[in-house]
Structure 1
Amino acid sequence: MSAPSPTGAPSAVVVGLCAHGLAVVRALASAKVSVTALEADPRLPGAHTRLAPVHLVPDINGPGLLEALVQLRKKLPSQETPVLFLTNDNMVRIVGAHWPLLRGLYHLSWSDCRENVLRLLDKGALEAHCSTHNLPYPKNWMLQRREQLDQIPADAFDTPLIAKPTQPLSGFKVRRINSKDQLQSLVDDYPTALPFLVQQWVPGGDDHIFFTALYLDNGRILASFDGRKLASHPPAMGQTTVAESVPDPRMHKLAERFFAPLHLSGPVSLEAKIDHEGRFWIIEPTLGRTDYWLDVCVANGVNLPLIEFLSQKKAPVPACSQTSGTIWFDTERSPLSYLRLHLNRNVKPTHDTWRPRFAYWDRTDPLPSLVALVRLFTSLVQRTIRKLRQMVR
């Protein structure tokens, strides 16, 4: 799959250079798409990529993102409208809510369906969607404020629950709850993160979590990828740190059923967990952006950012076939994930022979990986010093 050669003017703008954003840059640059990037933190390893000029701005996760995008567009040549790629839910929410300010400045794959995208970004809307369309979703309760704790029945705590804020980047991602007292303490510790979605825990480890990524054009599937988690942080509840390519017709069908009524365009994905009886239960969707495990898709034959770029440029989108055999490791959040997979006898990759793909390492763009190693070494030294000081006290 290839894209037109760059003309010198940036054809794509990527916002955010965490490991995920860097993966988007590399996926596009590998097909000779000219890319520029916005970032607020120059210390991030991804900010040192040689594959895109990096524009440093004060804010990419708040209202300042809109002004940064307007000002960036003024600096770019006017003859080509760049495709905009966002890398977290806050960005999706801000841009989606204020798209009229950016319309005409950028192409945004989901601009015509942003109402549905924004609605399902709120985890509180999932139950209604799943109930309406007869989709498997764990029993749950919405906790808007502390006074509603008593509305959760006592027998709900007979099995573990999980709690997660309905809004992104709210202090914590998800917590496992075993008693009402634990839930009350969580509310007291994170009062500004309310409301919480509290739901029944589906038993099973990370390797019970599957996902399907799709690129849609008004509901039509242009590309897809199925995979499985092998590790996440926190375990079995958090963000993926190890993922593999696993085609699974059941997971794929569930994702189709979930997104079909919405007639969406752009990148979407769905995570679900399979219980001990073989039933899939929906965890959550991602809309308006690719997920953090994007690189496992690219490494196994499905270059989702390139497909999005070509679609937005009205260029032909060649068919792509998912391959298997490369496992992706998020060494940004879990530097020892490669070693842990080898030591974990309870979790086995689907294929006996596989190749690793690391979050920052790329021989054509080595500096981000070197910066990441320096950051890791510095962090380890600082932790060791703190522990030594505590021992001395």
Structure 2
Amino acid sequence: MTTPPINARFAALVLGVDSHGLAAVRALNQAGVPTYALDKDTSLPGARSNQFRRLFSTPSFEAADLLPVLRQVRQQLSAYDEVALMAMNDRQVEVIGRHQAAVTADYRVAWIDQADTILRLQRKNELETHSRQHGLNYPRTVQFDSPGDANLAMSMRFPMIIKPVRPLSSFKTQMAANPADLDRWLQRYQADLPILGQEFIAGDDRAIYFGALLLERGRLLFGMTGRKLASYPPSRGQTTVAETVDEPQVLQLTQQFFAGLRLSGPVSLELKRAPDGSFWVIEPTVGRTDFWVGLCIGAGFNQPLMEFQLATGQPVTMPTRTEGCTWYDSERDPTAYPRLALNNRCLRPLNHRQVFSYLHSSDWRPAIHAVGRRLRSVVLWSF
């Protein structure tokens, strides 16, 4: 893509330097954006990056800690007319959305004018109604409000996926093989109630697809599709390997899900293809890029840059083309690439460009630090 000159009066503050935040920092910096970062853990490999101008610290990303730190950081960035604030996880999005007046006094957020819609779509108990209203398949679902509610699933088909209604609770998903298993999980996670139970759609990780969009007041600026190749835990966890694919139906269903909402910024939708070929909504990501944003960036779809430009009112840089890409979360699964390379008997699996969460030709220190941390953990574990 051809990037227009970046206005030096504008800067970006990325909330986090985990592998997700690091991908955004690199994408912004290499496009010429003055980029800063904020994290509670300055020991992360991403904290060693040479791609941000300064790493600020916060005690936590909870509102009580984050909001005053954001105020202080903005005072230190007073040389800039506008600073775009870019969330990297759902809790950050929730804090920004619930405290939008305080945040927007200092920062620009691409999606803030539709914060209520963003907060609504974050709650998983809203998704069944929304999906069906938009003509999409959604797995049969039941909500458990107390630890003794397992009997509500008597008519449901097992195995069942359970997930908390509120984002970033103490667990992401679990699998209940039978009613007794479900009762055990509800007792264990009662602090995370309410919890949703969904009938499991058959298929492994490779049956999970996603559409990634960049919207401006509901208008599609650009979109692409991909699918999981692996996740942890398998079939129900966070993506660890993903590839770009050409799936027009996934792109169309993703647009259909977000139709009429007038959202701005990056959004995505995860869908699962059932054995009969039908697609079923798993969950959306709103208010931020997804954890696998490195896949989009590597393919030529620079979502962080486009989000920054929307937030600060600048012309948006449109991708001129995209290329095949395979992305690896080498933080959670450092053996993913060698396994795939061995299975495909080549160093360029799937004939795609290979992108890694830490390894980067102009930013070596995060990868070196990540390898060092991994080696230390192996040595300590062996003793």
Shorter-chain TM-score range: over 0.9
Structure 1 position 326 matched with structure 2 position 325: yes
TM superposition shift of 1:145: 0.9
- Contact 1:240–1:330 (CA under 8 A) maintained in structure 2: yes
Aligned equivalent of 2:39: 39
Q: 1:63, 1:340 → 2: CA distance?
A: 43
Q: Which moved more, 1:61-70 or 1:177-186?
A: 61-70
Kindly tell me: are residues 351 and 278 of structure 1, through their superposed partners in 2, closer, same or farther at Cα, counting changes over 3 Å? farther
Q: 1:62, 1:314 → 2: CA distance?
A: 27
Aligned AA (1:263)? R
Q: Which moved more, 1:58-67 or 1:44-53?
A: 58-67
Identity %: 39
Structure 1 position 56 matched with structure 2 position 57: yes
Aligned equivalent of 1:235: 234
Q: 1:107, 1:269 → 2: CA distance?
A: 21
Aligned equivalent of 1:129: 130
TM superposition shift of 1:3: 4.3
Q: Secondary structure at the match of 2:210?
A: strand
Q: 2:324, 2:212 → 1: CA distance?
A: 18
TM superposition shift of 1:247: 2.0
Deviation by residue 1:171-207 (Cα, 9 ceiling, x = unmatched):
2111111111111111122221111110010111111
Aligned equivalent of 1:17: 17
Q: 2:380, 2:353 → 1: CA distance?
A: 32
Q: What is the aligned-residue RMSD (CA, Å)?
A: 1.8
Q: 2:318, 2:166 → 1: CA distance?
A: 36
- Contact 1:216–1:223 (CA under 8 A) maintained in structure 2: yes
Structure 1 position 280 matched with structure 2 position 316: no
Q: Secondary structure at the match of 2:366?
A: helix
Q: 1:335, 1:312 → 2: CA distance?
A: 34
Equivalences for residues 258-269 of structure 1 within 5 A: 258-269=257-268
- Contact 2:242–2:326 (CA under 8 A) maintained in structure 1: yes
Aligned AA (1:211)? F
TM superposition shift of 1:45: 0.6
Aligned AA (2:129)? A
Kindly tell me: are residues 173 and 40 of structure 1, through their superposed partners in 2, closer, same or farther at Cα, counting changes over 3 Å? same
Deviation by residue 1:134-160 (Cα, 9 ceiling, x = unmatched):
21100000111113221222x424x31
Kindly tell me: are residues 123 and 344 of structure 1, through their superposed partners in 2, closer, same or farther at Cα, counting changes over 3 Å? farther
Aligned AA (2:370)? A
Structure 1 position 367 matched with structure 2 position 368: no
Kindly tell me: are residues 41 and 351 of structure 1, through their superposed partners in 2, closer, same or farther at Cα, counting changes over 3 Å? closer
Aligned equivalent of 1:310: 309
TM superposition shift of 1:344: 5.5
- Contact 2:150–2:186 (CA under 8 A) maintained in structure 1: no
Kindly tell me: are residues 321 and 277 of structure 1, through their superposed partners in 2, closer, same or farther at Cα, counting changes over 3 Å? farther
TM superposition shift of 1:326: 2.2
Deviation by residue 1:40-86 (Cα, 9 ceiling, x = unmatched):
10111111111111011211244311111111111112441111100
Q: 1:177, 1:192 → 2: CA distance?
A: 18
Equivalences for residues 1-393 of structure 1 within 5 A: 1-5=2-6, 7=8, 11-52=11-52, 53-153=54-154, 155-157=155-157, 159-342=158-341, 352-385=350-383
Aligned AA (2:187)? D
- Contact 1:15–1:21 (CA under 8 A) maintained in structure 2: yes
TM superposition shift of 1:316: 2.1
Q: Secondary structure at the match of 2:284?
A: strand
Q: 1:166, 1:377 → 2: CA distance?
A: 37
Q: Which moved more, 1:332-341 or 1:218-227?
A: 332-341
TM superposition shift of 1:379: 1.3
- Contact 1:4–1:33 (CA under 8 A) maintained in structure 2: no
Deviation by residue 1:322-379 (Cα, 9 ceiling, x = unmatched):
523321100011111112324568xx9x974223211011121111111111111111
- Contact 2:148–2:186 (CA under 8 A) maintained in structure 1: no
TM superposition shift of 1:311: 2.1
Q: Secondary structure at the match of 2:175?
A: strand
Aligned AA (1:240)? T
Contiguous gaps of at least 5 residues in structure 2: none
Q: 2:40, 2:205 → 1: CA distance?
A: 32
TM-score (norm 1): 0.92
Kindly tell me: are residues 361 and 353 of structure 1, through their superposed partners in 2, closer, same or farther at Cα, counting changes over 3 Å? same
Number of residues of Structure 1 aligned to a counterpart in Structure 2: 379
TM-score (norm 2): 0.95
Aligned AA (2:152)? Q
Aligned AA (2:359)? W
Aligned equivalent of 1:388: none
